[in-house]
Structure 1
Amino acid sequence: MGAVYFYHLTERPLEATLPMLIGKARQAGWRVMVRGANPRRLEWLDEKLWTMEPESFLAHGMAGGPHDAAQPVLLGTGAERPNGAQCVMAIEGAEVTAEEVAALERVCVLFDGGDPAALDAARGQWRSLTRAGAAAQYWAEEDGRWSKRAESG
């Protein structure tokens, strides 16, 4: 049974934090699905990931291509995981279910601490997932370091 980790972004933006988390997931041997709600935002993120420093490069693709199953990291808006991802990273309010949390190694929910709507959405996801029995952790960044602030389950 997996767990869901909530990452409250307050110091570094999504495009800086997501590659670090993807890297850790890949080090664990997991394939990753980055699930967003906005296709244009995912296209923007795709471009950012392709133009990273060479030593930070993350091989990835956009969902809907002919090689989805071969991608170690896939970006998309749907609930499916055509690359067999063991880890889902939900951004900008993308939905995850308690069943997914239970079936996967890890689910990460990243949300912008400067956006009141994003905070409300993350709080709602926390309540919904923990009420359904999902193990959850809440992480916040302080002075450039991540610290666990809450745990459930």
Structure 2
Amino acid sequence: MAEVGFYHLTRTGAFEALPVLLGRTLDAGRRAVVRCGDPEAVAALDEALWKVPEPVWLPHAATGGKYPERQPVWITAGDDVPNGANFLFLTGVNEVLPLEPFERVFDLFDGQDEAAVAAARVRWVALRDAGHTLAYWKQEAKGWTKAR
């Protein structure tokens, strides 16, 4: 079973929150797949990560990129995991997806979008009922607060 963290975004979008989370993932020696809701979001995130000032550099590639098996961060709108990642980041995905073979899943959703919040609640219930370990994080003025 995966450990699933729900990240309720209230002051930034996913593209602003992801670099810190991905940087920590790489610092821990892990690989990640970022699954976006559509191919346009894949292209936008790919471009945004090249411009991130902190961490200094996030090595990554997106679907169609070279050497997918070598990439510590792979961005896709599909279910491909060519880099053997054990961390999955979801952004703009409003359905319950299979979580195997991932150890950790980061489900980032827009707290300003009522449909995204409602979809996150549906995913929470489905994943809880499936036996996954869940945590809820809410973005605050500075940092995150974990609900108990």
Partner SS for 1:65 = coil
- The CA deviation at 1:98 is 5.4
1:132 counterpart residue number:
130
- The CA deviation at 1:44 is 0.8
Q: 1: CA distance between counterparts of 2:93 and 2:44?
A: 17
Partner SS for 1:56 = coil
Partner SS for 1:137 = strand
Query: Normalising by the residue count of structure 2, what TM-score does the alignment of the two structures yield?
Result: 0.92
Partner SS for 2:117 = helix
Q: 2: CA distance between counterparts of 1:136 and 1:21?
A: 17
Residue deviations 1:123-150, cap 9 Å, x none? 1111111100000100001221211114
2:32 counterpart residue number:
32
Gapped runs of 5+ residues in structure 1?
none
Q: Once structures 1 and 2 are overlaid, which stretch shifts more, 56-65 or 124-133? A: 56-65
Structure (1/2) with the larger helix percentage = 1
- Percent identical residues: 40
Q: 1: CA distance between counterparts of 2:60 and 2:112?
A: 28
Taking structure 1 as reference, are residues 80 and 95 closer, same or farther at Cα in structure 2, changes over 3 Å only?
Answer: farther
Residue deviations 1:18-63, cap 9 Å, x none? 0011011111111000001111011011111111227532010012
1:43-82 → structure 2 map (5 Å cutoff): 43-53=43-53, 55-82=55-82
Partner SS for 1:138 = strand
Query: Normalising by the residue count of structure 1, what TM-score does the alignment of the two structures yield?
Result: 0.89
Q: 2: CA distance between counterparts of 1:11 and 1:135?
A: 26
2:16 counterpart residue number:
16
Residue deviations 1:53-112, cap 9 Å, x none? 275320100123341101010100112211100100010125454542xx3221000000
Do the aligned residues in 2 keep the contact of 1:90 with 1:96 (CA within 8 Å)?
Answer: no
Q: 2: CA distance between counterparts of 1:126 and 1:70?
A: 32
Do the aligned residues in 2 keep the contact of 1:8 with 1:110 (CA within 8 Å)?
Answer: yes
Amino acid across the alignment from 1:125: R
Whether 1:123 and 2:126 are equivalent positions in the alignment is: no
Gapped runs of 5+ residues in structure 2?
none
